[in-house]
Amino acid sequence: MNHSDGERRVALLVSAEVGCIAHVRQILASDAALSLEHVAAMPAAIDEMRVREVEVLLVDLAQLGDDRFAWLAPIQHAEVSVPIVLLSDRDDADEALRALGEGVQEYIHLRDESPSRVVRRLHHAIERHRLIVALDAARHRAQVAATHDPLTRLPNRYLLEEQMHRVLPTARRDGGGVALLYVDLDRFKSINDTLGHAAGDEVLAQVAGRLSSFTRKSDVVARVGGDEFLILLTDIRGEFAPAIVAEKIQEEMSRPFHLSGRDYWVGASVGIAVFPRDADDADTLMRHADLALYQVKASGRGDSRFYSGVLDESVHKRHALEHALRRALGQGGLRIVYQPIFDTTTLGVVGAEALLRWKDAELGRVDPGEFISVAEESGLIVPLGEAVLRTACEQLAQWKSAGHELVMTVNISAHQIDEERLRNLVTQALWDSDLRPGDLELEVTESALMRDEEAAVRTFAALKQIGVGIALDDFGTGFSSLNYLKRFPVDTVKIDRSFVHDLVHEPDDAAIVSAILSMARQLDLAVVAEGVETEQQRAFLTERLCDRLQGFLLSPPLPAEAFEELLRTGVVPAKVEEAGD
Ligand code: C2E
Ligand code: MG
Ligand code: MG
């Protein structure tokens, strides 16, 4: 191998024929950009290109024997990217076409061309190649962006589904098995909320690393949602492989994550579906893995579970409800009704309780008790609760500007109890609708406070400081009601409607209600009786100086327009159905 000066780029000629080498050297002598080097055979050229940059590869076709293209395969195989120019000893149009079809840039019949034209064609070949490489790189980048999650660099849902559609037909033909594992992190949200998004991202990246560490190369690990991952296992026999992988996931995820010097435990729930046993196509496989995961979550998380055809009815139903609720949140179908709260003596309206109503196109009217618990389990309660609070505040602002004085009461779920988030939400909602803190009262049940007492104490102390009212809902149904009155800054207790219901016939209930009323008086708390349905109940409560009444006797929950009419006229509009459908 002969070397020439360094500045110019290398044109590497493959030829053992002295006449050809001399000819090409003469042609390139006039070119300032390229310097010629030569090797005698293709293997040497490939070795050369592996260690140094070659601007263009010139191949002397004359000496390549019968199969004049056999040398191309090894060069393509070597994955070196270089423009190739063929120097031919004959002017063969078919051969030229075939060469271009193989990705060769130029086919030059040396004897026909002037030296300057050959040089020009070499430079064109180099330029064209450069463009193609740039285009390929751009295409590759776009493809990666469209098929991968930028944070973890794992395939995204799209790529996983592609892969699934590729492997299922093969598995069906060969009688192989494919398993899909749906992985959902258990406590990711709280890390994200308390330590911030950067920490959350760090956890996701680490999870991606852990999940990829024990899967085979042919398996696909994809990130398909905030904290959701899918693992596709191909070519499995029986249940062994998915069970082992699931166990491995649990093991990996039970190790702590180190974040800013401390250890955090996240944990995962895994739902597994196996093709062809559990599903016959990609969509069903996905749905069944999701259902299995849903079952794990419903029964306490941190576990793995195979799809079982005999999922009980209620799981199916809740799963369907969750999907429909998600849809409703995006597209409407949810609305708020307001139940008036009356002053016992004047019977004027002093408050309104905002209550959610949901009517789904397919499922019809769904009972709040049912969909609120689904919303709580799925985390949907957070955006849902925020929407209720904001809408209720705006509604109250409208009524107040029309000259009506009343307090808006909004139910807060246990899952919304997060000091910072709730404080921000409440201040923002008050500010945006131009209300005073005293215009708003938040209702919370004892069981909600019990879930995480420490957090609840902090949260409600913060809310109290803002100046919003706190009401203890469904009072009397919990175990330690009196305790809570001492520990939480409560302004109002709402006697649960189960006590009110049997007030007149059950001496025990009458005694409980009387006790609550006298205790509340001593503690200087306001009392609302819920679920007042009869005149006898009203008489009993009035006699014992219960401050406020709420119930069907006086008014059902009303749509906003009907409520406004009540405020204006003092009369509950006729023909308003409960919930006003
Ligand atoms: P809750 O907060 O105790 O609401 C009072 C419930 O009693 C409402 O049921 C209301 O329609 C019903 N009610 C009112 N007067 C009477 C009566 O005279 N007799 C009887 N039998 N019932 C009466 P609803 O609207 O079905 O709500 C049920 C529960 O769902 C609520 O109980 C509350 O815990 C929850 N909920 C409703 N809306 C929301 C919301 O926006 N956020 C949250 N977190 N929970 C909500
Ligand atoms: Mg309530
Ligand atoms: Mg209640």
Ligand 1 atom 19: residue of nearest CA: 531
Confirm if 13 and 21 have CB atoms less than 8 A apart. Answer: yes
Q: Mean pLDDT throughout 318-347?
A: 92
- Biggest distance spanned by C-alpha atoms of the chain: 122
Give pLDDT, residue 581: 45
CA nearest neighbour of 226 among 326, 330, 151: 151
Residues 257 and 252: their CA atoms lie apart, in Å, by 10
Ligand 1 atom 33: residue of nearest CA: 411
Could you give the residue range(s) of every CATH 3.20.20.450 domain in the chain?
A: 335-365+378-569
Could you give the residue range(s) of every CATH 3.40.50.2300 domain in the chain?
A: 9-147
Q: Give the whole-number percent of the chain exceeding pLDDT 70.
A: 95
Q: Identify residues whose C-beta is under 5 A from ligand 2, the ion.
A: 411, 443, 473
- Please tell me the least confidently modeled range out of 85-89, 397-401, 566-570: 85-89
Ligand 1 atom with the smallest distance to the CA of 494 is 3
Give pLDDT, residue 66: 67
Half-sphere CA count of 170, side-chain side, radius 13 A: 9
Give pLDDT, residue 2: 45
Q: How far is the CA of 367 from the centre of ligand 1 (A)?
A: 10
- Match domain 157-310 to its CATH number in 3.30.413.10, 3.30.70.270, 3.40.190.10, 3.30.110.60: 3.30.70.270
Ligand 1 atom 5: residue of nearest CA: 530
- CA–centroid distance for 416 within its chain: 19
Q: How far is the CA of 141 from the centre of ligand 1 (A)?
A: 53
Give the single-character DSSP code of 33. S
Site to probe by mutation for ligand 1, drawn from 337, 338, 355, 537 as the one with most ligand atoms within 8 Å of Cβ, is: 355
- Please tell me the least confidently modeled range out of 53-57, 391-395, 476-480: 476-480
Q: How far is the CA of 444 from the centre of ligand 3 (A)?
A: 9
pLDDT, one tens digit per residue, over 485-506 is 878 889 999 999 999 998 888 8
pLDDT, one tens digit per residue, over 107-156 is 998 888 888 999 999 999 999 898 888 888 888 888 888 899 999 999 99
- Sorting pLDDT into bands at 50, 70 and 90, what band is 81? confident
Domain 9-147: CATH architecture, name and number where available: 3-Layer(aba) Sandwich (3.40)
Q: Mean pLDDT throughout 368-372?
A: 92
Specify the residue for token string 């998600």.
Answer: 326
Ligand 1 is surrounded, with C-beta below 6 A, by: 339, 354-356, 368-369, 372, 385, 388, 411-413, 443, 473-474, 497, 530-533, 551-552, 557
Four-CA torsion 47, 53, 56, 58, nearest 10 degrees: -20
**pTM of the predicted model as reported, rounded to 2 decimal places:** 0.61
pLDDT, one tens digit per residue, over 491-544 is 999 999 999 998 888 888 898 899 889 989 988 999 999 999 999 999 999 999
Q: Which ligand is nearest to the CA of 476?
A: 3
The highest-level CATH class for domain 335-365+378-569 is alpha beta
Q: How far is the CA of 532 from the centre of ligand 1 (A)?
A: 13
pLDDT, one tens digit per residue, over 239-251 is 688 999 999 999 9
pLDDT, one tens digit per residue, over 192-227 is 888 888 999 999 999 999 999 988 888 999 999 889
Could you give the residue range(s) of every CATH 3.30.70.270 domain in the chain?
A: 157-310
Ligand 1 atom 17: residue of nearest CA: 531
Specify the residue for token string 């649960």.
Answer: 496
- Sorting pLDDT into bands at 50, 70 and 90, what band is 272? very high
Q: How far is the CA of 529 from the centre of ligand 3 (A)?
A: 9
Q: What is the 3-state secondary structure (H, E, C) of 341-375?
A: EEECCCCCEEEEEEEEEEEECCCEEECHHHHHHHH
Ligand 1 atom 46: residue of nearest CA: 411
Q: What is the 3-state secondary structure (H, E, C) of 375-387?
A: HHHHCCHHHHHHH
Q: Where are the alpha helices (H) located in 188-340, listed in sequence order?
A: 188-195, 197-213, 240-254, 282-298, 313-331
